[in-house]
């Protein structure tokens, strides 16, 4: 399939030909050794100028200001941007000035990646810059970058804000929008903080299967695929819970995994079909211990990332200091709807939903009806971190029965900024009770609930060998990152969010087939 090129793209391809005719390889293979970066130079040059008399740096050209026999340009490396000063007689010390007059001034473009050697100085206007002694083209850019202008105070103009462009071409978004890169650096710092917290507590990081014969550990609609060699259907995991609990059976006391999960469901500002969850399981602990641990972990993340616990999230101030508020799900529903659902049967719950103008369907059992009431009428009210506790048994097929409250289980969900961030249990370790709960899920599946759980007989077999009392939790990493980096959409904390393929890509694929 032919591709239509813009005038600028055609011009750059012609420049590529001319560079090769001059004997310049636009994509050289040899290593370019670097001993400095933009941020380091800007921070440390004035403190120790002797260290910057012979520097080697590489980066992408972001702007060029031509002054005839000399010019200023700005390059950008992984650490930031810095100004460079290029003079014809410095990079072309002999009589042949072709490299400056032709290569630099006519064949090099904004977006090209160059390597240079020189020394650092401060211009008359007070800007730390690099005086270039030699320059080499490292990669020719064949597509022009969107131009984002920045004034002397660092304010940007003509920023690229179109989400369709930014998410689909994240590589360009990262080049032209520095704050985007910062968000993903913060995401990594969040994950590292969590990993350090768990490792120092004695936890072991593990890996469990992504391809599973039974999609277990959550109520969700899975993606189905097929393994050709074994000729069997397989599912992309919706959760890693049942495998991690198998490891607790096997004798590990504390295991965790940053799990890439997949759910074949809707997409919105807080849902992506591919997402990351941290799950960890600790033997001989319960959900009360897990609440204490969770609130201290969340508090530590805020402190490590920002140095404070009160953060601005949208137009709200959220305080991540422990301890967090705690309230039962029944008390929450009563507070925001005036309905006491604690003793309602399925018909009563349907009537309550009708009164509350909540849509239902025949596939919904008692658990789904309670869940939808809470989701529609209560969840959005919890802006400050709040543990919603003590769920009805019908909503929690993997959770231990409450030690003192009939009909409830020992479960909590952590709500922040109106959304669920974490879900945790005192894990069910009674294999007979667990089998009965799974069988109830099968009945819901027969009613048309495509999110009901399958029976995992191998997991039941593992429980029959004996699993110690265990606390477990799943924390939505993407939503947590949204909170900690003040982003309103999950797509802004995913480097490559799921998107509908471009029409041209679909056609190319069909032609290949």
Would you give the DSSP letter of residue 402? P
The pair of structure tokens assigned to 74 is 């700005």
Q: Quick one: CA torsion of 373, 374, 377, 379, rounded to 10 degrees? A: -160
The pair of structure tokens assigned to 375 is 């989701």
Domain 7-145: CATH superfamily is: Nucleic acid-binding proteins (2.40.50.140)
User: Mean pLDDT by 10-residue block, N- to C-terminus, for the chain (513 residues)?
Assistant: 87 98 97 97 95 97 94 97 97 94 96 98 96 97 84 61 90 93 97 98 97 87 95 95 97 98 92 96 98 98 98 97 97 97 94 96 89 96 98 88 94 97 96 90 77 84 98 97 97 95 62 47
The pair of structure tokens assigned to 292 is 């204490």
Specify the pLDDT at position 220. 86
HEC-encoded secondary structure of 343-384:
CCCHHHHHHHHHHCCCCCCCCCCHHHHHHHHHHHHCHHHCCC
β-pair partners for 389: 328, 412
β-pair partners for 258: 278
CA distance 301 to 195: 11
**Can you give the length of the chain in residues?**
513
Residue ranges, comma separated, of all CATH 2.40.50.140 domains in the chain are 7-145
Specify the pLDDT at position 513. 45
CA distance 487 to 162: 15
β-pair partners for 414: 387, 422
Specify the pLDDT at position 82. 98
Contacts of 277 by beta carbon, 8 Å cutoff, 6+ apart? 239, 240, 258, 259, 261, 474, 475, 476, 477
Query: Is the bond preceding 323 in cis, omega lying within 30 degrees of 0?
Result: yes
β-pair partners for 387: 326, 414
CA distance 410 to 287: 6
Strands 128-139 and 80-87: parallel
Is 9 within 8 Å of 142 (Cβ atoms)? Answer: yes
Residue ranges, comma separated, of all CATH 3.30.930.10 domains in the chain are 179-324+384-503
Alpha-helical runs (H) found in 227-328:
241-249, 287-306
CATH topology classification for 179-324+384-503: BirA Bifunctional Protein; domain 2 (3.30.930)
The pair of structure tokens assigned to 105 is 């001034």
First to last CA, the chain: 13
Is 385 within 8 Å of 298 (Cβ atoms)? Answer: yes
The pair of structure tokens assigned to 264 is 């074949």
The pair of structure tokens assigned to 433 is 């009770």
- DSSP, residue by residue, 27-53: S--S-------HHHHHHHTTT-GGGGS
Specify the pLDDT at position 455. 86
β-pair partners for 149: 157
Closest CA to 218 of 169, 275, 138, 267: 275
Is the dihedral angle over the CA atoms 143, 147, 152, 157 positive or is it negative?
A: negative
CA distance 279 to 287: 14
CA distance 120 to 45: 8
CA distance 173 to 157: 15
The pair of structure tokens assigned to 493 is 């904390």
Specify the pLDDT at position 81. 97
CA distance 259 to 209: 10
């Amino acid at each position: 399939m032919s591709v239509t090129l813009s005038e600028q793209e055609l011009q750059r391809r012609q420049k590529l030909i001319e560079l090769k005719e001059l004997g310049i390889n636009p994509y050289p293979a040899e290593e370019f050794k670097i001993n400095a970066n933009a941020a380091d130079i800007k921070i440390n040059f004035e403190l120790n100028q002797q260290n910057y008399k012979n520097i080697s740096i590489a980066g992408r050209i972001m702007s060029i200001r031509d002054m005839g026999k000399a010019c200023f340009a700005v390059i950008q490396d992984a650490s930031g941007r810095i100004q460079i000063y290029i003079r014809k007689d410095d990079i072309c010390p002999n009589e042949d000035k072709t490299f400056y007059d032709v290569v630099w001034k006519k064949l090099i473009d904004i977006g090209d990646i160059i390597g240079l050697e020189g020394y650092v100085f401060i211009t008359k206007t007070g800007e730390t810059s690099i005086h270039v002694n030699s320059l080499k083209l490292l990669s020719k850019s064949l597509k022009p970058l969107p131009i984002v202008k920045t004034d002397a105070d660092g304010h940007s103009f003509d920023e690229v804000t179109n989400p369709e462009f930014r998410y689909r071409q994240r590589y360009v978004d990262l080049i032209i929008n520095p704050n985007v890169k910062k968000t993903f650096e913060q995401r990594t710092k969040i994950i590292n903080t969590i990993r350090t917290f768990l490792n120092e507590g004695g936890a072991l990081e593990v890996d469990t299967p992504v391809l599973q014969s039974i999609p277990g550990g959550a109520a969700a609609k899975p993606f189905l695929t097929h393994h050709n060699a074994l000729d069997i259907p397989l599912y992309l995991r919706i959760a890693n819970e049942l495998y991690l609990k198998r490891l607790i059976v096997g004798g590990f006391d504390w295991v965790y995994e940053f799990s890439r999960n997949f759910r074949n469901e809707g997409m919105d500002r807080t849902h992506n079909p591919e997402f990351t969850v941290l799950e960890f399981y600790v033997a001989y602990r319960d959900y009360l211990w897990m609440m204490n641990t969770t609130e201290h972990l969340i508090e530590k993340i805020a402190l490590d990332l920002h140095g404070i616990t009160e953060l601005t999230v949208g137009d709200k101030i959220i305080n991540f200091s422990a301890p967090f508020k705690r309230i039962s799900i029944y008390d929450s529903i009563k507070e925001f709807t005036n309905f006491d659902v604690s003793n309602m049967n399925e018909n009563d719950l349907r009537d309550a939903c009708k009164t509350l103008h909540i849509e239902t369907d025949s596939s919904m059992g008692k658990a789904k009806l309670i869940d939808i009431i809470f989701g529609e009428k209560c969840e959005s009210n919890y802006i400050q971190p709040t543990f919603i506790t003590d769920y009805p048994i019908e909503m929690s097929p993997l959770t231990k029965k409450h030690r003192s409250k009939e009909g409830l289980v020992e479960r909590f969900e952590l709500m922040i900024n109106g959304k669920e961030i974490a879900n945790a249990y005192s894990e069910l370790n009674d294999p007979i009770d667990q089998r009965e709960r799974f069988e109830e899920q099968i009945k819901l599946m027969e009613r048309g609930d495509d999110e009901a759980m399958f029976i995992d007989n191998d997991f039941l077999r593992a429980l029959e060998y004996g699993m110690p009392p265990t606390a477990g939790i799943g924390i939505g990493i993407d939503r947590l990152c949204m909170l900690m980096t003040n982003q309103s959409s999950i797509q802004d904390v995913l480097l490559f969010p799921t998107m509908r393929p471009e029409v041209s890509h679909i056609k190319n694929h069909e032609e290949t087939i």
